[in-house]
Each structure stands twice: as C-alpha cells, then as structure tokens.
Chain A
Amino acid sequence: MDTKYYTTWEEYLAEHSELEGKPEQAIAPKIVKYEDAMFTFIMDLLL
C-alpha cells in the first residue's frame, strides 16, 4: 500500500534506530498486530 498511514515492519524498523539489538522476533509481531488492527478498524468503518 502506498500510504503514510500504514507502516510495514521494515519501514518501522528503519525509522526506529533505538530498536537495534533488541529482540526483533518479540517486537515485530506486536507492532505489526496493532498496525493491522488499526487498518481493520478503519476499513470496517466503511463496510
């Protein structure tokens, strides 16, 4: 998606250097889960 309102994990990681060396396998699913939850919520408002 070409949008400023949805960020992939790769894009998020690139913007957050403070996460370098942190447990990506634990952080990524959580960040992505809430990114997707917001997407679903927004789209449900139009369905």
Chain B
Amino acid sequence: MTDAIARTNERNQLFKDLFSGKTPKRVPISNPATQDFAIQYAGLDLAECQWDLTKLEPVYDKFCQDFYTDTYPGGSIRIPSHYQILGSTPIVMSSSGFMQHPDVVGMLAEEYDEFIASPYDCIVETILPRLYTEFNGPPGKVAMALAKAMKAQADDLASLGAIRAKMNAKYGFAAMVGALTEAPFDFMSDFLRSFKGISGDVRRYPDKVAAACEAVLPLMIKKGTLPNPSMLGYTFVPLHMAPYLREKDFAALYWPTFKKMVETLAGMGQSVQLFVEQDWMRYIDYLYELPENTIMRFEYGDPKLIKEKLGKKHIISGLYPVTLLQTGTKQQCVDKAKELLDILAPGGRYWWQADKSIIHLDINGPVVENLRAVLDYVHENGTY
C-alpha cells in the first residue's frame, strides 16, 4: 500500500467516525482557501486560469503541498465557459477575474401561480430566458447554445476531476463526494425573486411564498440527492435568508420545507452539511430538531452556546474567523484556533473549517503564513 493510499484510508476513517457521531482519532481539517486563492498564490492570472484549466495542475500541486488539509482543497462550481456561452446575467466574471453574482430577478411577483403549477416548466420557459440571453431566439439556436454550454461544462468538470484524482493519488485526501442544493425559500430568493423581492413578498403574498416553497421542494431534494448515497458523501446546503426574517416568518415560510428537505436527504443514508451563513443564534433550537449528525458549519455565533445546545447531537464546524488571518499576528491566529479547539473538540463531533472561504489573496499580506500556522496547529494539536 502506498503512503497516499494509507493516508486516504486514515482520513476516510476520520470522516466516517465523525459523520456517524463517533469520536475520531483527531479533529479533521479542511483548508478554507479556494481555487481563486490557489491561482493567486501561484502568481498566475485568475481569468486566464479559469478559462484554460490545463494551467491548474501545478497550481493545485503547490497548493496541496504547502497547506495542510484532510480534504481536497479548492474546487469551483462557477467555471466561466458555460456561463459565457449562455449569456449569463446572474453569474458574471468581474474585470479582476472573480466570478460574481449580481442581484437579479428571474421571476416576477405575478408569476407565482405559474411557478406553483409547475416549477420546472416555469424555470425552463420563463426564468432561464430572463436570466440567460441565449435561451431566447429561434429554437434551433437555443438548442445549439444549450448543447455547447453542457459540453463546455462537462469538459471543464472532467479537467478539474482529472486534477483532483492526481492530487488525491499524490496527497491521500479523504475520498469525499458531494452534491449541492438549497433550502426552498433560499432558492426562491437568490436567483428568482432577489433579496429585495422576497422580502416584500413575505409581507404581501405569504401564502404564495409558502406554496412556491412546497412546489419546489421535490426539485431541491432531487438536486441534493447523491447518485450513490454513502457515509462519505454529503449534500452541501448554503443557508442565506433566515437571519433577515422575523421569527414568525421563518417558522411559517422557511423552516417547514427546509426541515423536510434535510430529513428526506438524511433518510437516504447520506450526510447533510449546512453552511449556516450569518448569525442563526435565535434559531438554534430549531437547528437542534434536524436529524442527528447533521453537519453545521457556522459563520457567526457563540461557540460555547452552539456546543452546549447542539454539540451532543450534531456535528459542529466553522466559526474560525478568516478575517483574523489578515488582521492578526501569527500568535493571535493560533490562539484563536486553540480557543475553538478547547471549546468545540471535547467529545468529538467537530470538523475544523473556517467561518467562510478565502477567495482573495493579498500576496504581500500575512494570510499565507497565518493560514499555514493555523492548519498546522490544528493538525498537530487536534488529537483525541
């Protein structure tokens, strides 16, 4: 057995234990820096590398070599080619090469009934043509644009997959697989009604918002279902709108379909990882109700309260403030990692991740050195 295979086996066991509620040998670690960070760290042009993925293999090799992590770092769901081919307005590349999501309205308020009657038909016939210019025009032209875009994305994913396989074979990361979906209410908000639009709808048409969330729930479950659900697979669910709602609206409009979705996915024998964005402390008792061993990566919140209320049932992650890597000294960064380890690690059910991903790198700043020190500290001191 090669060293890399042995490392993969060891790391797989860490996550199998973690996801099943057993205390692993040590605290598993995921590097929070992204593919964008890795490209900047390698000193290459961000836009060019995302268009020409052949440039990424040495980028990932250096990234994997220089920063400790138990899971494959980086990755990207926002590869530019298929967005460009489809004339995307919700996902666009900025002049500096970052993929950005401007606030858009894909569905008008008067289209709720059409959406509720058949969400997928409404998406294909009404929403996509509004958000992607190439979904408009003669049917043959639309079909060709769609075919080109799917082929481009498939080629890009194959390129990234080949690099990932090489890095896994060399560095022995845990063999994790993932899917992506959203809470129904967040799906209605992000690309369809927009932050402003859904905020008004909650007051003007709460019944329609509730019906739309129910109608789209089967699509969100299907989107989040792994082809072969397993203990090392999880569905990633970034949570967006709840902190901006009144609790009575959260309870009536957000929670019911979100809870059903998580319960259904967990019932298939796969893990669910929630990225609990912003501050959910006033909903902490709701989170407790989710299926045992739901993974919750928190952005903000009180670590002690989270551990006390959720730590015996769920798997806690996040909370490490990445801004400290930019503003703090190496000692302050390590001290923060120690503080969180002391609070969150006892008894297991703790996965070291940061409170958010690191996208931008000031190459002359302290982030590289501080990040490396924190990852090494947790690796060396996270043993149970």
- Report A's interface with B, CB cutoff 8 A: 1-6, 37-47
A2 / chain B contacts, CB cutoff of 8 Å: 118
A44 / chain B contacts, CB cutoff of 8 Å: 77, 180
**Chain B, residue nearest A39 (CB):** B222
Decide if B127 touches A3 in the complex (CB within 8 Å): no
Q: Does B150 contact A (CB under 8 A)?
A: yes
Which of B90, B106, B123 is A42 in contact with, Cβ under 8 Å?
B123
Q: Does B192 contact A (CB under 8 A)?
A: yes
B124 / chain A contacts, CB cutoff of 8 Å: 3, 5, 42
Which of B132, B218, B219 is A45 in contact with, Cβ under 8 Å?
B132
Which chain B residues in 122-165 approach chain A with CB under 8 Å? 123-124, 127-128, 131-132, 149-150, 153
- Other A-B contacts than A2-B118, A43-B223, 9 sampled, CB-CB below 8 A, are A3-B121, A39-B120, A41-B150, A41-B153, A43-B219, A44-B180, A45-B131, A46-B123, A47-B180
Decide if A3 touches B77 in the complex (CB within 8 Å): no
Contact A45-B128, Cβ < 8 Å, known A1-B218, A39-B222: yes
CA distance A6 to B120 in the complex (A): 8
Q: 0/1 per residue, B81-112, Cβ < 8 Å to A?
A: 00000101010000000000000001000000
**Chain B, residue nearest A46 (CB):** B191
CA distance A47 to B130 in the complex (A): 15
Decide if B120 touches A46 in the complex (CB within 8 Å): no
CA distance A41 to B151 in the complex (A): 11
Centre residue among A38, A42, A47 by max chain B CB count within 10 A: A47
Q: Does B182 contact A (CB under 8 A)?
A: yes
Pick 9 A–B contacts, CB within 8 A, sort by A: A3-B118, A3-B121, A5-B120, A38-B150, A39-B223, A43-B123, A46-B106, A46-B127, A47-B187
CA distance A43 to B124 in the complex (A): 10
A39 / chain B contacts, CB cutoff of 8 Å: 120, 222-223
A37 / chain B contacts, CB cutoff of 8 Å: 150
Q: What is the CB-to-nearest-CB distance from A16 to chain B, in angstroms, rounded to a whole number?
A: 20
Decide if B128 touches A1 in the complex (CB within 8 Å): no
Decide if A47 touches B182 in the complex (CB within 8 Å): yes
A6 / chain B contacts, CB cutoff of 8 Å: 120
**Chain A, residue nearest B192 (CB):** A46
A40 / chain B contacts, CB cutoff of 8 Å: 223
CA distance A46 to B104 in the complex (A): 11
Q: What is the CB-to-nearest-CB distance from A43 to chain B, in angstroms, rounded to a whole number?
A: 5
CA distance A17 to B159 in the complex (A): 38
Decide if A5 touches B191 in the complex (CB within 8 Å): no
